[in-house]
């Protein structure tokens, strides 16, 4: 529930640490104090904190402002906790929508006159004379410190099943209203999968939510309540202990309790988590530690 707040806090705390570090270094007109990679909640929080601290900084974002929030479905309910944004103050809401949260951040960015370079991707990082040389899709920068505010979603994880490359397969749902009266399979057992399945079902689609586990134990209480209501009203179907085995043009094969079933299908949405860019992180000198198999 506090993911947005935690990201903002982490970004601000990173700048506080860097500010102390930079006190021991002499400023240079040709070198940034800090280069921030990412303009999601953490990157925005870090940028605001850097400006408040009077640092010379630059923020780049490979896509658009908002980070993970941009991948939320339209009108998605976002649950967070009160947070403190530098140069803005406290934000006390606990429940809002994707659109309202984006509007809030964009308004703060405009009011604070933050400059964020969108559609600019970091491609390489190397140490150069005690500083870092950052190469991006649009140029090169020198910076004393770097903040990687790239989140934890990473690249969508694929299932590796036959037919997964078909155009009907998607890994995020931006607008559920684009579907009307379709047969749709949603794969996953987390909040993203549950929210997508319910959103699609509310638009008059025949939705099947498939999860390999025997229970949806990782979803928020609010989503649990709404899902139970949807199941009771028979607005969607939940298949536990099931595995998507193959995707075809007009059907999908799902194994349930060892039995393979062919289901009419027009679209498949897969929410199996993300894979961090570990190879890139290692290439630029970031040590990736794993605990219980998770980076």
Indicate which CATH number applies to the domain containing 199: 3.50.50.60
**188-210: per-residue pLDDT in tens?**
999 999 999 999 999 999 999 99
68/195 same-domain check: no
Sign of the alpha-carbon dihedral angle for 232, 229, 219, 77: positive
- pTM for the model stands at 0.61
Question: Within a domain: residue 18?
Answer: yes
Inter-residue long-range contacts of 246-249, CB under 8 Å, 24+ positions, other chains counted = 246/161, 246/162, 246/163, 247/161, 247/162, 247/163, 247/164, 247/166, 247/168, 247/169, 248/163, 249/166, 249/168
Low pLDDT (below 70) residues in the chain: 1-5, 8, 17, 21-29, 70-82, 89, 92-95, 152-154, 290-295
Give the residue numbers spanning the domain of 254: 156-274
Asked whether 43 and 11 are in contact (CB, 8 A), the reply is: yes
Question: Within a domain: residue 34?
Answer: yes
Question: How many structural domains is the chain composed of?
Answer: 2
Asked whether 114 and 51 are in contact (CB, 8 A), the reply is: yes
Question: Within a domain: residue 251?
Answer: yes
22/144 same-domain check: yes
Asked whether 87 and 64 are in contact (CB, 8 A), the reply is: no
200/94 same-domain check: no
150/11 same-domain check: yes
Q: Tell me how far apart the terminal alpha carbons of the chain are, to the nearest angstrom.
A: 21
């Amino acid at each position: 529930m506090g993911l947005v707040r935690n990201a903002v806090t982490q970004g601000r705390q990173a700048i506080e640490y860097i500010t102390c570090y930079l006190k021991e270094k002499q400023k240079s007109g040709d070198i940034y104090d800090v280069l921030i990679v990412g303009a999601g909640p953490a990157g925005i929080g870090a940028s605001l904190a850097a400006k408040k601290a009077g640092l010379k900084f630059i923020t780049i974002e490979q896509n658009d402002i908002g980070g993970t929030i941009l991948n939320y479905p339209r009108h998605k309910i976002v649950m967070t906790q009160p947070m403190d944004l530098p140069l803005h103050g406290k934000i006390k809401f606990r429940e809002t929508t994707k659109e309202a949260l984006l509007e809030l951040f964009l308004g703060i960015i405009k009011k604070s006159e933050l400059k964020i370079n969108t559609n600019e991707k970091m491609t390489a990082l190397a140490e150069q004379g005690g500083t870092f040389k950052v190469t991006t899709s649009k140029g090169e920068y020198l910076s004393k410190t770097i903040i990687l505010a790239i989140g934890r979603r990473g690249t969508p994880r694929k299932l590796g099943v036959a037919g997964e490359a078909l155009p009907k397969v998607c890994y995020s749902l931006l607008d559920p209203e684009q579907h009307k009266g379709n047969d749709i399979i949603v794969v996953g057992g987390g909040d993203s999968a549950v929210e997508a399945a319910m959103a699609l079902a509310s638009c008059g689609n025949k939705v099947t939510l498939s999860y390999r586990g025997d229970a949806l134990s990782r979803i928020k209480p609010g989503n649990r309540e709404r899902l139970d209501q949807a199941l009771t009203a028979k607005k969607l179907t939940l298949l536990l202990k099931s595995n998507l085995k193959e995707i075809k043009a007009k059907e999908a094969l799902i194994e349930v309790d060892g039995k393979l079933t062919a289901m009419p299908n027009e679209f498949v949405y897969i929410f199996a988590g993300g894979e961090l860019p570990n190879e890139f992180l290692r290439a630029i000198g970031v040590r990736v530690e794993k605990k219980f198999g998770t980076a």
